[in-house]
Structure 1
Amino acid sequence: MRHSHIGVTSLQQDAAHASKVTLVGALFDALLGVVKIITGLLGHSAALVADGVHSLSDLATDLVVLISIRLGGRAPDQNHPFGHRRIETLGTMILGLMLLAVAIGLVWQNAFSLWQGQSSTVPTWPVLLVAGLSFGIKEGLYWYTIKTARSLQSELLSANAWHSRSDALSSIVVLLGAGGAMLGVWWLDAVAAMLVAVLIGWISLQLLTGSLAELIDTAVSIEQQQAYRAQILQTQGILAINALRSRTSGGKVLLELKLEVAPRLSASEAHWLGQQVKQQLKKQFTEIGDILVHINSPASTLPEQLTSSSIRPALQQAMETLLQRYQLEAADAEVFLYYQQPIRADILLSSQAQARFAKISTRQLLHQLQHIWPQSRQLQIRFYQLKAD
């Protein structure tokens, strides 16, 4: 319970930090959007108006980010045992679709302006001033947001940071376009607005591609998988990696591992090795979220007439029959099965059973067991602490 409480607190703190950063960005987006549009309209710059629309679109995306962070930061519950981080992924996809719509609208509007021909007005100097101010503010917001995104390992916050940088870069395009139009190249302002739209569209496609890959459980890169494999095999006792499956959720990598260990390890020791692997992976790779480990022993092919569900019950029943012949109980023999090739069965006898079998060789005892259950001839059976042959 204590660990769960700590986890919930950490998620809540991360969500609060991310929300604060997003709210700061939203405040500047609102101010810049209004100032750009008013200045662009009064200063006759379609590029600055387009940039203002871009800034106001950031408000909508900021809202998506805030909602996604709030919902995605919730702890796992009964209905969502793997957590809610995929809500952030969905939020990133919505953000990408909104940006794509803005980009298409800007391209259409300014392509129509170019088709109409030269305008009688040219941009004025306040357009240059506002565009320069916008670049400084939005570039500052990018670094403020990306620093938090990296510390929280949030793909959604990182996407919003790049959204701010796209606004900063588009302000440079506005500076060039408006400046060129003021120097007599009338079409440069409309072309600059279209370049801004293309930049917005490119960023939206990057966001959509990444979030879609996550939603369809795309594996991480081969290079990442090789790094994980190398780290796993450094754990002494892990003989091989039978399978490694990966996917991402809310920017976190989720792993499913099938690890091979020695066939005669106890269940507790095999579990301990799995825990060591998980701890080392999370220590070395901070992007890893949850790890599911399945422990395997070396694979073997079972004889056709022996299924995994019939060996133990049949063998134990045969041993009970054998023990009864010597007035012993089932508790006087414990069976350990090792599914290897051939399948091995170690039978540990109690001190009372050892005393009763003192005058019987292991070969005789094995022969009696095989007579009771003939299929046991396909197993490698050993009795412990019996009289030697």
Structure 2
Amino acid sequence: MYKSYSFDEIKDKLDIFKKLDDEFPIFEDGLYFTIEKKDDVIGYACLEKKEENYYLKRIFIKKDSRFKSHGKKLLAFIINKKIKKGSLIIEKDTPIDGFLVKLGFKKMENGSLSIEDVEHKEQRKKEGQKTVISSIFWNIILAATKISFGYIGKSRALLADGFNSLSDVATSSGILLGIHFSNIPEDEDHPFGHEKIESVIGVIMGIFMILTSFELGKGGLELLFSGEKREIPEMITVYFALFSSVVKYFMYKQKIRVGIETENSALIADAKDSRNDIFASLSVVLGIIFSIYVNPIFDIIISILVSVLIFKEGVSVILDITDTILDKQDVEFVHEIKRYIYDNTDIKNVHDVMMRKSGDKVFLELHIRVPKDMTVYVAHKISDDLESSIKQDFPSVKNVIIHLDCIID
């Protein structure tokens, strides 16, 4: 159980904390966080707030409870749940520097350790949510206008494009849920985090696109071979198709920018769908014009082509995201990691480098060779330093597992 206390709340328990740790810090404006099991205090952390930043004054875990990740869990709780803005700073070197670096703290020029601007982790979520909410709003507008005027203006192509926009509302809503759940911090049941849910949402979106294309294509083919009299679309439908292509262009630019910046695979997939919608709407314009001035059959043919385009993009989205789910290796990134190690360390042999991606985060595994007579302490220090350096210089890397092999004579 994690608990938080102000100094006023903790005053009644000072004897307990002094007995736990005779160096227990007392700050009247301090923030205290504990990890407890029933009435037993396992450990605590004390923070002092100055302006926008928080300073870790002391963290302490009972001796018989150390090496059970309690300190890591307590700090993760503070960072993920309690600090909403600013940086968490440790002003001087501590015996647990290595432990803190593994948690994401970075060395500052003055020797302090800091997790800079812990609010930054929320920016990806907020930027993605803002983009998707905007997409939902505009797709509702486009779906309502295109379906209404497709029906009134007797254009099956515009009607099909309207239902395509309606499907985009559903998929964007799914992405919105994905962004929310993927940003839930890692916990004991999900130690690698929840980022992969973005890929799951992306696949669902691709399936939804395929089902939509099937229904649109089926209706168009039935009408094409039915022998029914074909109505000539009204000219007003052209203007709504043009309006749709312009709106979709700006939606595509916004989604692809945010998707690439935040490495959100579901948002990138949605951007590709919006890009296809631009061509779909322009095809509708041509289909309506040809239907008016040449033959009404073009309106039906274009509606079928729109469904084929939606189907193709749905398959493409699923295949792209499946590569992520199946942990397809980014060969260029793997080579970059190897070059980084060879260029910046004395390590002569790096092999079996593997990676897997979860949302915008990369998890690395690699083997390095060290002399067989090297002590465990020195080898472990080399491994720790390498892990910290990779995470420092490659912000997308969330975790690194390094296996030590010996150099064979």
Q: Is this a same-fold pair by TM over 0.5?
A: yes
> Residue 102 of structure 1 aligns to which amino acid in structure 2?
T
Aligned to 1:173: 283
**Which among 357, 365, 370 is matched to residue 248 of structure 1?**
357
Give distance in 2, aligned partners of 1:275 and 1:187.
Answer: 69
Please tell me whether residue 295 in structure 1 is matched to residue 404 in structure 2.
yes
Return closer, same or farther for 1:264/1:162 CA change in 2, 3 Å cut-off.
same
1:102-181 matches, cutoff 5 A: 102-117=212-227, 119-181=229-291
Return the index of the structure with the highest Cα Rg: 1
Shift of 1:289: 3.6
SS in 1 for 2:225: helix
> Residue 15 of structure 1 aligns to which amino acid in structure 2?
K
Please tell me whether residue 213 in structure 1 is matched to residue 323 in structure 2.
yes
Shift of 1:192: 1.0
Give per-residue Cα distances to partners, 1:280-330, cap 9 Å, x unaligned: 54566555443222222224xxxxxxxxxxxxxxxxxxxxxxxxxxxxxxx
> Residue 43 of structure 1 aligns to which amino acid in structure 2?
G
> Residue 145 of structure 1 aligns to which amino acid in structure 2?
K
> Residue 250 of structure 1 aligns to which amino acid in structure 2?
G
Shift of 1:130: 0.4
SS in 2 for 1:233: helix
Give distance in 1, aligned partners of 2:390 and 2:330.
Answer: 16
> Residue 21 of structure 1 aligns to which amino acid in structure 2?
T
Report which stretch shifted further, 207-216 or 181-190. 207-216
**Which among 110, 116, 126 is matched to residue 16 of structure 1?**
126
Could you tell me the TM-score, scaled by structure 1's length?
A: 0.71
Could you tell me the TM-score, scaled by structure 2's length?
A: 0.68
Give distance in 2, aligned partners of 1:164 and 1:265.
Answer: 57
Aligned partners of 2:263 and 2:359 also within 8 Å:
no
Give per-residue Cα distances to partners, 1:90-123, cap 9 Å, x unaligned: 1111111111100111111111111124634111
Please tell me whether residue 231 in structure 1 is matched to residue 336 in structure 2.
no
Give distance in 1, aligned partners of 2:371 and 2:214.
Answer: 60
Return closer, same or farther for 1:8/1:61 CA change in 2, 3 Å cut-off.
farther
1:294-373 matches, cutoff 5 A: 294-299=403-408
**Which among 272, 290, 293 is matched to residue 183 of structure 1?**
293
Aligned to 1:354: none
Give distance in 1, aligned partners of 2:392 and 2:302.
Answer: 47
Give per-residue Cα distances to partners, 1:323-346, cap 9 Å, x unaligned: xxxxxxxxxxxxxxxxxx6xxxxx
Give distance in 2, aligned partners of 1:192 and 1:238.
Answer: 61
Aligned partners of 2:355 and 2:362 also within 8 Å:
yes
Return closer, same or farther for 1:268/1:237 CA change in 2, 3 Å cut-off.
farther
SS in 2 for 1:122: coil
Return closer, same or farther for 1:207/1:183 CA change in 2, 3 Å cut-off.
same
> Residue 261 of structure 1 aligns to which amino acid in structure 2?
V
Give distance in 2, aligned partners of 1:127 and 1:282.
Answer: 54
Give per-residue Cα distances to partners, 1:259-293, cap 9 Å, x unaligned: 11233444444344334544554566555443222
Please tell me whether residue 75 in structure 1 is matched to residue 75 in structure 2.
no
Give distance in 2, aligned partners of 1:72 and 1:78.
Answer: 15
Shift of 1:31: 0.5
Segments of structure 2 that go 5 or more residues without pairing to the other structure are 1-74, 81-114
Give per-residue Cα distances to partners, 1:19-68, cap 9 Å, x unaligned: 11100110000010000001111111111111100101111011100111
Give distance in 1, aligned partners of 2:156 and 2:332.
Answer: 45
> Residue 294 of structure 1 aligns to which amino acid in structure 2?
H
Aligned to 1:85: 195
Please tell me whether residue 259 in structure 1 is matched to residue 364 in structure 2.
no
% identical aligned pairs = 25
Shift of 1:241: 1.5
Q: Which of structures 1 and 2 has the larger relative contact order (alpha carbons within 8 angstroms, sep 6+)?
A: 1
Return closer, same or farther for 1:56/1:274 CA change in 2, 3 Å cut-off.
same
Shift of 1:224: 3.4
Shift of 1:85: 0.5
Give distance in 2, aligned partners of 1:161 and 1:86.
Answer: 19
Count residues with an aligned counterpart.
299
Give per-residue Cα distances to partners, 1:159-198, cap 9 Å, x unaligned: 1222222222210110111111111222211111111111
